[in-house]
Structure 1
Amino acid sequence: MADDEGASPRELILEACRRNNASLLEETLADLTSASKKAGKKPADYIAEVLNKSHDGVGNGCLHIAATYGSYDVLDVLLDQEGIEIDEIDRMERDTPLHKAVRYVNSLSKAEWSSGHHIVDILLDAGCDPRIRNKAKLKPVELVDPRNAELRSILQKGEFAMTAGDDVVQEDDDGATGSGSDSD
């Protein structure tokens, strides 16, 4: 790449994630929308492809990086993008963005924990699966500092909701509604 070209979209996305710079991310997404038209692709598909392929040198995707740095505003923008992979696994620890968010909260002082919980909340609200285990066979809830009962509760509720949600979906797909009895 020539010096006068500037940073690539991938570099801009990752920098926005590190710095919680939603404006930079939105500008980059707007540029990708323009580039998609020139490439003859649907903007949402093109943006999702670029976001899902944006990794740092050790295999962290953009959601991993945003969660690692507690970049709430950037996470909010990223999670609004259609087709973004929310449960991507990193190469090193096989962590999901939710694992990284828990590690971020653990890195805060005890007084700051509650301000970090919103990072976990936004990922759970977006549908991140708290049941996924990493390389050490740990779920995000198992990484929580034992003194942080509130975060443990948030993750347990998220896990229960996802498990119960799976059961409801399976019941809904069983066929016709109505009485469970064979007699009509």
Structure 2
Amino acid sequence: MEAKGVHHSYGGRAVLRGVDVELPAGVLVGIVGENGAGKTKLLKILAGQMRPSRGVVRHGGRFGYCPQRVVLNDAFTVRQHLRFFAAAYGIPDLRRAEEVIKILGFAEYADERAGALSGGTRQKLNLTLAVMHDPQVLLLDEPYQGFDWETYLRFWDLAVRFRAAGRSVLVVSHLAYDTDRLDQVWRLRDGVLHGRGEGAG
């Protein structure tokens, strides 16, 4: 995935001022910044949910997007969500989804309605729906909010598996304490990405 010269204004205020992003295969990258810095706006533009004021975004393959705000149908069970998204993605079975559910540790909730799930389990489902079609580029907005420590570690295990499979993973967060898990860390400040550097790798 590549983005060049992305600008975006909101309410007359310039939020993004010429952002460039390039995600080669097999990298785990983070964008950190304060609340209101424009991280979610940038991710929505990269995912195609919003159009930039200026600039271009190019995708070279399948991509998955996990928004910060969980959007589920409270009347559907976990399994019904999986079947619905499998049909939408055009994938023949739920093997990939079931593998992710096992990694994240919520298989016992497969027949529970989304409305009865805790916030953390809803977020697990949100993440599963974003990755069940094995995307080549994965865009994650605050993906581990509501997770307990064990699930947080399981999330990073999943992210590392994606990287090892040659996928590109972009994690957006307002917290910087997990940047040592990333190959590169970019900071969004004043509408521009700063300090592109290497993490732990």
Length-normalised TM-score, structure 2: 0.27
Higher strand share: 2
Greater relative CO (CA pairs within 8 A, separation 6+): 2
| TM-score normalised by L of structure 1 | 0.29
Which is greater in Rg?
A: 1
Structure whose residues are more often helix by fraction: 1
